Structure 1
Amino acid sequence: MARVCDICNKTAIMGIKYSHSHKRTNRRWEANIKKIRVIVNGTPKRLNVCTSCIRSGKVQRAI
């Protein structure tokens, strides 16, 4: 599963991790993606949605 939000297209971002001795290594911060059932045009559909879109109410969950 690609870790991309189907609503806001949030993906992983790259950065640098610093150790205690300040050695630098590359790292990724992955988006918190959940596979949930949402209502799209009146029909339930399974989408990959980030938790910030779920909390903000950008999607309507299918129960």
Structure 2
Amino acid sequence: MSKVCQLTGARPLSGNKVSHSNRKTKRRFMLNLVKKTLIDEKSGSKVVLYVTARALRTLAKNPKKFAKQIANYAKKDLKKKSK
């Protein structure tokens, strides 16, 4: 599983880990991904997505913001199940 938010497309960032003596080594800033079951408003079908906690907060405040992306994943899920 890649560490990418399926709604926002957010990816891990890279940067430096800085020690007390100010030595720098590379590190990755990982996302706070959550496996969440979301419901498509039009079709009423359930879709399981990996979403960042930030996207979940946005969904709680404005549910229609990611409606297109959720509908697209619902269509893909229906196609997989029909095969």
- Aligned-residue sequence identity (percent) comes to 30
- Per mean C-alpha deviation after superposition, the further-off stretch among 39-48 and 23-32 is 39-48
What is the aligned partner in structure 1 of residue 77 from structure 2?
A: none
Residue 19 in 1 paired to residue 19 in 2?
Answer: yes
What is the alpha-carbon distance in structure 1 between the residues aligned to residue 29 and residue 11 of structure 2?
9
How much is the aligned-residue C-alpha RMSD, in angstroms?
Answer: 1.7
Given the two structures, how large is their TM-score scaled by the length of structure 2?
0.65
Residue 3 in 1 paired to residue 3 in 2?
Answer: yes
Aligned residues: 60
More helix by share: 2
User: Structure 2: where are the runs of 5+ without partners?
Assistant: 68-83
The Cα of 1:56 is off from its aligned counterpart by: 1.1
**Amino acid across the alignment from 1:47:** L
Decide which structure has the larger Cα Rg and report it: 2
- Runs of 4 or more above 4 Å deviation: none
What is the aligned partner in structure 2 of residue 52 from structure 1?
A: 54
User: Structure 1: where are the runs of 5+ without partners?
Assistant: none
The Cα of 1:39 is off from its aligned counterpart by: 1.2
Give the number of the structure with larger relative contact order, counting CA–CA contacts within 8 Å between residues 6 or more apart: 1
The Cα of 1:17 is off from its aligned counterpart by: 1.1
Cα shift readout 1:8-48 (whole Å, capped 9, x = no counterpart): 01110000111011111001100100011001342101000
What is the alpha-carbon distance in structure 1 between the residues aligned to residue 18 and residue 31 of structure 2?
21
